[in-house]
Structure 1
Amino acid sequence: MPTNKRKVMLPHTMGQQGMALIQARDDIETIIYPAGIAQADLLPRLADITGIALSGTPFRQAEMDASLIMQVVARIGVGYDAVEVPALTARRVPLMTAGIANSTSVAEQAFHLMIALAKKNKPMDAIVRGDTWHQRHGMQPMELAGKTILIVGFGRIGTRTARRCAAFDMTVLIHDPYINEQQIRSAGYQPVADLNAALPQADIVCIHCPKNPETVGLFNAGRLGLMKKGAFIVNTARGGIIDEPALHAALTTGHLAGAGLDVFEEEPTPPDNPLLTLDSVISSPHMAGVTVEAVAAMAVATSLNILSVLDGSPNRENTINPEVYI
């Protein structure tokens, strides 16, 4: 029987709170699809879709070409490196993200990784479990108070990480070429324009910048070599911003003391990734922004983003390509 309902695709992993918002609409037909759907299976289903929410599913030119009446593409999160924005923009289709929905969760994970590295949680736990208490004085932990952290990226997550570090009496340096230095000073932190010059000052480097052509390989062998000997590096942004072989070399030579990684260049990262053999590496499976609270908030934000476009009042604050509205 013919229907005039608009069709919206949602991944099966989307939080129920967000799904319910769209499913409650009588004028919208909700189509649930597997989050790991293959491109060959996705493309034929896009022809009559007006809106889609993406978890980790890529959406590029081929997907856009198959979407004959698409009005909005929304990421359940804030990263969008798997979306070909120009392809959407050419068709005047907005790409929307979840705004600050998971910012607190990611900042907390970044700070957790700092503490875990500084307090040597991984080897300390191994000492207790292995009944080797006599080794405990050979790996003394350190305080965060008085240490200097360099935060790369002062956006929604970086600002929250900075507040947590300042509360622990750390000196906070900020590198973000797209943020006015006075804005950083007004927040109580020290702006640094020259990343290379700032690296030797930092006891911890924390990455919160987006992944794009400017930042891929940003932390290569040269920059890792500029870091203070014994420093830590934490990445909860995107894999590929740190050159993994270069990081492995910096850790195995003892130049860097440790790394906290929630993201990897290839995900899932292969079990034989050399970084995983190092006790100085603490890892998590790209889950920094996937807490109970964040999943609910991102799902709601994503649904509201989609509905805002379909209802003719797009949320411009969460739109990556606002030029489509001109």
Structure 2
Amino acid sequence: MKIFFTAEYDEEQLKPLYEMGEVVKDGWAIGLPKMQEEELMEKSADADIIITSYDDITRAVIENAPNLKLIACTRATPVNVDMAAAKERGIPVIYTPGRNSDTTAEMTVGLMLSIARKIPMAYKALKEGKFTADPNAQKVTKEGLKVDMVWDMEPGSPYMVFKGTQLHGKTLGIVGYGSIGRRVGKIARAFGMELLIYDPFLCPIDLEEVGVKKAEKLEDLMKNADFITCHMKITPETTGIISREMIALMKPTAYFINSSRGAILDEEALIDALREKRIAGAAFDVYAKEPIASNHPYITELDNVVITPHIAGATDDVLVNHTKQIVADVKRFAEGRRMLYEYR
């Protein structure tokens, strides 16, 4: 059995795969760029199994591989696989749901803390030499007192410039309560936050816990949450769900967080709200167009936003997780057993 392998991976977890057939690594797996269709067609033509992360498994690639029996994609959704073409050939597609749920949830809470306490802004100021002392300066403590450090209350002092808000006691609105949303909620509860959940597929009986409530309407969540975080896949129903009208309902003290997909948000409306200080701030790992443009208002203009370059899932642990999932399911496939992660 020939396994054409272009995925990110963890070597230790991959070792059992070597016992199942000839593993040919190429592309991303050996540090090369994403393959073009023609190259992928040529190199995978005699493969029984294709395992990839980001290469486009198009109809042409599938039809050019007569021996192909299984496609594996190490992502939470196999968006780069032509599912219709695979189905026509009767080729199952496996994927790795939940591989980065913990990682993304932690990043989401990190973004919340960063914007609430203005951590990146304070870091940047210190690196630029602001609010620092002369290396030769010596502070004298008066007799009978202990060493102390107090900033004054002038508008330009860091105590005032970087004054933020704590998470404890605040309400976190979670839009989408799936694998990642639930993990974000669990961490937030440890901070002492209350949860307000909007998910039309969620039964209220699943939330029978003090401090956790379901919002029957998205409008209710937008009006009442102190922090709002979104964790949804892109569908016709979720595209643009955080609309200008929804943003207008937010408290002036509220923060918006998005580490899911840029398409769920009316980005221009959110920029207007930040520009006009109608909300307290926002933090993003995803954008309407990616990579984010160098002249985007988040970069060039707004000082009440924290941004990162779509890295919520970028940890070594994710590679360990999805390699385990794929290898285990390939083994099940080879043994004729039901696979755990077949995409339907």
Pair in the same fold by TM > 0.5: yes
Alignment match, 1:212? 235
- Tell whether the 8 Å contact from 1:219 to 1:241 is kept in structure 2 after alignment: yes
Match among 264, 268, 280 for residue 287 of structure 2: 264
SS class of match (1:190): strand
Give the whole-Å Cα distance in 2 for the aligned partners of 1:51 and 1:253.
53
1:178 aligns with 2:173: no
Match among 135, 148, 154 for residue 157 of structure 2: 135
User: Would the alpha carbon gap of residues 91 and 135 (structure 1) be closer, same or farther in structure 2, given more than 3 Å must change?
Assistant: farther
Q: RMSD of aligned C-alpha atoms? A: 2.4
- Tell whether the 8 Å contact from 1:9 to 1:30 is kept in structure 2 after alignment: yes
1:32 aligns with 2:26: yes
Match among 99, 116, 120 for residue 97 of structure 2: 99
Percent of counterpart pairs with the same letter?
25
- The residue identity in structure 2 corresponding to 1:284 is T
Give the whole-Å Cα distance in 1 for the aligned partners of 2:157 and 2:61.
56
Give the whole-Å Cα distance in 1 for the aligned partners of 2:284 and 2:71.
29
- Tell whether the 8 Å contact from 2:194 to 2:211 is kept in structure 1 after alignment: no
Q: Gapped runs of 5+ residues in structure 1? A: 1-5, 322-326
Alignment match, 1:306? 330
- Tell whether the 8 Å contact from 1:71 to 1:94 is kept in structure 2 after alignment: yes
Deviation string 1:210-245 (CA, Å, 9 cap, x unpaired) is 122222222232222222223212222223222322
Give the whole-Å Cα distance in 2 for the aligned partners of 1:188 and 1:141.
23
- Give the TM-score normalised by structure 2: 0.82
Give the whole-Å Cα distance in 2 for the aligned partners of 1:79 and 1:236.
16
Give the whole-Å Cα distance in 1 for the aligned partners of 2:61 and 2:264.
26
- The residue identity in structure 1 corresponding to 2:329 is N
1:295 aligns with 2:290: no
User: Would the alpha carbon gap of residues 187 and 49 (structure 1) be closer, same or farther in structure 2, given more than 3 Å must change?
Assistant: farther
Alignment match, 1:3? none
- The residue identity in structure 1 corresponding to 2:268 is P
Alignment match, 2:15? 20
1:44 aligns with 2:42: yes
User: Would the alpha carbon gap of residues 273 and 88 (structure 1) be closer, same or farther in structure 2, given more than 3 Å must change?
Assistant: farther
User: Would the alpha carbon gap of residues 314 and 44 (structure 1) be closer, same or farther in structure 2, given more than 3 Å must change?
Assistant: farther
Instruction: State how 1:139-178 maps to structure 2 within 5 Å.
Output: 139-178=162-201
Which stretch has the larger CA shift, 84-93 or 122-131? 84-93
1:222 aligns with 2:217: no
Which stretch has the larger CA shift, 52-61 or 254-263? 52-61
Give the whole-Å Cα distance in 1 for the aligned partners of 2:64 and 2:247.
43
User: Would the alpha carbon gap of residues 248 and 58 (structure 1) be closer, same or farther in structure 2, given more than 3 Å must change?
Assistant: farther
Alignment match, 1:53? 51
Q: How far 1:60 sits from its partner (Å)? A: 4.2
Alignment match, 1:324? none
- Tell whether the 8 Å contact from 1:204 to 1:231 is kept in structure 2 after alignment: yes
- Give the TM-score normalised by structure 1: 0.86
Q: How far 1:113 sits from its partner (Å)? A: 0.6
Which stretch has the larger CA shift, 237-246 or 196-205? 237-246
Give the whole-Å Cα distance in 2 for the aligned partners of 1:246 and 1:81.
28
Give the whole-Å Cα distance in 1 for the aligned partners of 2:234 and 2:112.
21
- Considering only CA atoms, is the larger Rg found in Structure 1 or Structure 2? 2
Q: How far 1:166 sits from its partner (Å)? A: 0.8
Alignment match, 1:281? 305
Give the whole-Å Cα distance in 2 for the aligned partners of 1:247 and 1:58.
32
- The residue identity in structure 1 corresponding to 2:255 is F
Aligned length: 314
SS class of match (1:149): strand
Q: How far 1:201 sits from its partner (Å)? A: 0.7
Bigger relative contact order (CA 8 A; separation at least 6): 1
